[in-house]
Structure 1
Amino acid sequence: MSGPNDNFDPKRVAALDPDVVNGFVEAALAAVRGASTSAELKQVRIDHVGERAPLALANREIGALPPAARKEAGARVGKARGQVSQAVAARQEELAAAELAQALVDERIDMTLPVELGPQGAVHPITALIDEMCDVFVALGWEVAEGPELEAEWYNFDALNLGPDHPARGEQDTLWVEPPSAGKLLRTQTSPVQIRALLERDVPLYVVSPGKVFRADEYDATHLPVFHQLEGLVVDKGISMADLRGTLDHFAKAMFGDVTTRMRPHYFPFTEPSAEVDLQCFVCHGESVGNPERPCRTCRSEGWIEWGGCGIVNPRVLAACGIDTDVYSGFAFGMGVDRTVMFRNNAPDLRDFVEGDIRFSRSLLGGAR
């Protein structure tokens, strides 16, 4: 029968000596107390609590002791490691609280100080003008109506008395959506919104419809394939051209100040009689007409600027929407929003409106009429 195994290397287990263990603890506690930041304490944890720490290495040597000595050594090393871990945790709480308090002082913002906020953007001039235009009519008691930009052929053409052979239906004017049999297109005007309003709302009807429209136009200084319109529609009893003229005069003065308007006979399939609305040039006031010494670039020395179209709603349009034309009549008008912005601000090139330069938007928003 073999005896107990007392054969071990004293040098190998020297790290388990009580005095050595106490030295490890004192060194660790001193390092913990000396850590003044969380970053420094993190390094202390690595050096004195991590896997390569002296106490961790000493713990690995317990198995080299005789069985009778292992329990006491294990308890001694375990107590030492726990003491160091607790000291690290306590110091971490102290440092975290101190650093938070310091951060609150360093990052404190005096809310009473004046501050100048740099603008991050600007409302687009077209958006701003659409809102202003709508406000003019909302103040008159009108409603704002909107509709889809992808429109059905019937709403965009047929209901507006534009027959199947009308030139506007050609691809040189209209952007059709595949397949052709679907009868879908990108609306060429906001007039389809008026048709939808007639079908969905009761009369009397007073609506204004702003929105984006699409044409197969060239992209140049005076034309865009995508632009904006604002159209108005009134259907009520006893509506006449006088009501239309009064409304447009009020609208023109709201947009341009004290300006004179005129109507020229014209033709539109959806109104009868129809007219073009002109504004007296608000730059030269007509003084450039026949005066080569004082030419006007705004009206090209013609004295008048074309603004939009208007007229009494064609009875066929009302009948297509189920309106009794013996009882009700109405008027309609439409203006280009983009050109109105140009008129008000003397902007020379429509392409500037789609370039996305915020400096351009800010310059127009701050400009005079």
Structure 2
Amino acid sequence: MSGPNTQYDPVEVSALDPAAVDANVADALAAIEAATDLDALKAVRLAHAGDRSPLALANREIGALPPSAKAEAGRRVGEARGRVGAALRARQEALEAERDERMLVDERLDMTVVAPRRPLGARHPISTTIERVEDIFTGLGWEVAEGPEVEAEWFNFDALNFGPDHPARAMQDTFFVEPGDAGLVLRTHTSPVQMRAMLTRDLPLFIVCPGKVFRTDDLDATHTPVFHQVEGLAVAEGLTMAHLKGTLDRFAAELFGPHVTTRLRPAFFPFTEPSAEMDFQCPICLGKDPACRVCGGTGWIEWGGCGMVNRNVLSAAGVDPERFTGFAFGMGIERAIMLRHGVPDMFDIVEGDVRFSTQFGMEI
């Protein structure tokens, strides 16, 4: 700031010269009008209305004037700064309005336009069918159990009453894990999970065991070397074949519809006695078309095996067969999909074409 100016000479205090003040205002108004966005206006504000702007410096020089000149100089500089401030506010309002209008256009979302999404995949019907089966049995109060896919030969065969010479133990049916004397196989069914459950859980026991199994079958229209099963086991006091039949009837009705009719045919399995094959009436022809391709004209479709748990199996698990009885059953997941949806060929299920999976949606 300049020293005292007792005689007020506008040349000596040039920043307060009326022409200089008017010129600063004109420069500021031109710069404000030329600002095309808010960032540019911010720079103009600092240059023409900030602490180091010409009008701010002129305002500081007022203190150097004699008392008789301060009022007139203050009025002149105040009016100039007021004009610049008003111009800045008006320009900011205009630029903000332009920005908001532009955002409404640039960021608008047309909710009526279908997004160009490329479907990346779909859940496989095997997964959704297994989940549906689990939901059915957990709704009945059962538990879901799991076990290893590489299984000890004792759990897979011996504990389930398969004799040493049983054909299922041959290389033609079973994948053995090297070395040959390791006693390990790729499980041929999920029944070992039932044995593990009886050894580790308290009775009464009600479990369902879905999972992947392996057999040395060739891939054809109805067979595959890797497939999925769901097996169930119930062990308690007083269980009979009537409980088994009622459970399977409920299972079939939940999976295939309330109209389904079932029957049991005598059969043989090492781990159940008595044993049976469960069939249900062909949903396509209802047994009225001798040329039906689904049931072969018989009117019935085989679904899986079942029976009362063999006493030897209960004893191998440390369960007293004099006190407890149990029933077990096993069905193929792929077969259920083929029967429920009319899938004619196993290749459609296993080859991994996403077009096959997408037709089932998220739940079947």
TM, length-normalised to structure 2: 0.69
| Partner of residue 175, structure 1 | 175
Match among 348, 356, 359 for residue 360 of structure 1: 356
| Partner of residue 278, structure 1 | 279
Amino acid at match of 1:266: A
| Partner of residue 223, structure 2 | 223
C-alpha contact (below 8 Å) 2:266/2:277 kept by paired residues: yes
C-alpha contact (below 8 Å) 2:262/2:280 kept by paired residues: yes
Judged with a 3 Å threshold, the aligned counterparts in structure 2 of structure 1 residues 296 and 366 are, in CA distance, closer, same or farther, namely: farther
**Does 2:309 match 1:313?**
yes
Deviations 1:191-239 (A, max 9, x none): 0010111111110000000000000001111110000100000000100
Q: State the alpha-carbon separation in 2 of the partners of residues 171 and 105 from structure 1.
A: 72
Amino acid at match of 2:131: D
Equivalent residue of 2:293, what SS? coil
Unaligned runs of 5+ in 2: 1-99
**Per-residue deviation at 1:115?**
6.7
C-alpha contact (below 8 Å) 1:345/1:367 kept by paired residues: no
Deviations 1:250-303 (A, max 9, x none): 0001111110000000000000000000010000000014xxxxx211101110
**Per-residue deviation at 1:363?**
2.0
Q: State the alpha-carbon separation in 1 of the partners of residues 194 and 146 from structure 2.
A: 9
Unaligned runs of 5+ in 1: 1-100, 290-294
| Partner of residue 17, structure 2 | none
| Match runs of 1:198-237 below 5 Å | 198-237=198-237
C-alpha contact (below 8 Å) 1:345/1:364 kept by paired residues: no
| Match runs of 1:156-175 below 5 Å | 156-175=156-175
| Partner of residue 14, structure 1 | none
Amino acid at match of 1:126: I
Q: State the alpha-carbon separation in 2 of the partners of residues 254 and 263 from structure 1.
A: 18
Q: State the alpha-carbon separation in 2 of the partners of residues 187 and 104 from structure 1.
A: 63
Q: State the alpha-carbon separation in 2 of the partners of residues 367 and 143 from structure 1.
A: 21
Judged with a 3 Å threshold, the aligned counterparts in structure 2 of structure 1 residues 345 and 179 are, in CA distance, closer, same or farther, namely: same
Q: State the alpha-carbon separation in 2 of the partners of residues 222 and 346 from structure 1.
A: 12
| Match runs of 1:330-349 below 5 Å | 330-349=326-345
**Per-residue deviation at 1:366?**
8.2
Equivalent residue of 1:343, what SS? helix
| Partner of residue 268, structure 2 | 267
Amino acid at match of 1:326: E
**Per-residue deviation at 1:105?**
8.6
**Per-residue deviation at 1:325?**
1.1
Judged with a 3 Å threshold, the aligned counterparts in structure 2 of structure 1 residues 146 and 367 are, in CA distance, closer, same or farther, namely: closer
| Partner of residue 44, structure 1 | none
Q: State the alpha-carbon separation in 1 of the partners of residues 156 and 113 from structure 2.
A: 52
| Partner of residue 298, structure 2 | 302
| Partner of residue 136, structure 2 | 136
Q: State the alpha-carbon separation in 2 of the partners of residues 205 and 178 from structure 1.
A: 34
| Partner of residue 318, structure 2 | 322
| Partner of residue 351, structure 1 | 347
Q: Cα RMSD between the aligned structures?
A: 2.4
Q: State the alpha-carbon separation in 1 of the partners of residues 179 and 163 from structure 2.
A: 21
**Per-residue deviation at 1:365?**
4.1
C-alpha contact (below 8 Å) 2:214/2:227 kept by paired residues: yes
**Per-residue deviation at 1:334?**
0.3
Judged with a 3 Å threshold, the aligned counterparts in structure 2 of structure 1 residues 286 and 200 are, in CA distance, closer, same or farther, namely: same
Q: State the alpha-carbon separation in 1 of the partners of residues 113 and 235 from structure 2.
A: 52
Equivalent residue of 2:329, what SS? strand
Q: State the alpha-carbon separation in 2 of the partners of residues 326 and 163 from structure 1.
A: 23
Judged with a 3 Å threshold, the aligned counterparts in structure 2 of structure 1 residues 221 and 110 are, in CA distance, closer, same or farther, namely: same
Q: State the alpha-carbon separation in 1 of the partners of residues 352 and 246 from structure 2.
A: 37
How many pairs were matched up? 265
Q: State the alpha-carbon separation in 2 of the partners of residues 252 and 286 from structure 1.
A: 18
Judged with a 3 Å threshold, the aligned counterparts in structure 2 of structure 1 residues 107 and 207 are, in CA distance, closer, same or farther, namely: farther
**Per-residue deviation at 1:120?**
2.2
Equivalent residue of 1:300, what SS? coil
Q: State the alpha-carbon separation in 1 of the partners of residues 266 and 233 from structure 2.
A: 19
Equivalent residue of 1:288, what SS? coil
C-alpha contact (below 8 Å) 2:122/2:362 kept by paired residues: no
Deviations 1:30-58 (A, max 9, x none): xxxxxxxxxxxxxxxxxxxxxxxxxxxxx
TM, length-normalised to structure 1: 0.68
C-alpha contact (below 8 Å) 2:266/2:276 kept by paired residues: yes
**Per-residue deviation at 1:364?**
3.7
Q: State the alpha-carbon separation in 1 of the partners of residues 231 and 270 from structure 2.
A: 16
Amino acid at match of 1:348: P
Equivalent residue of 1:353, what SS? helix
Q: State the alpha-carbon separation in 1 of the partners of residues 233 and 106 from structure 2.
A: 58
Q: State the alpha-carbon separation in 1 of the partners of residues 113 and 323 from structure 2.
A: 62
Structure (1 or 2) with the larger CA radius of gyration? 2
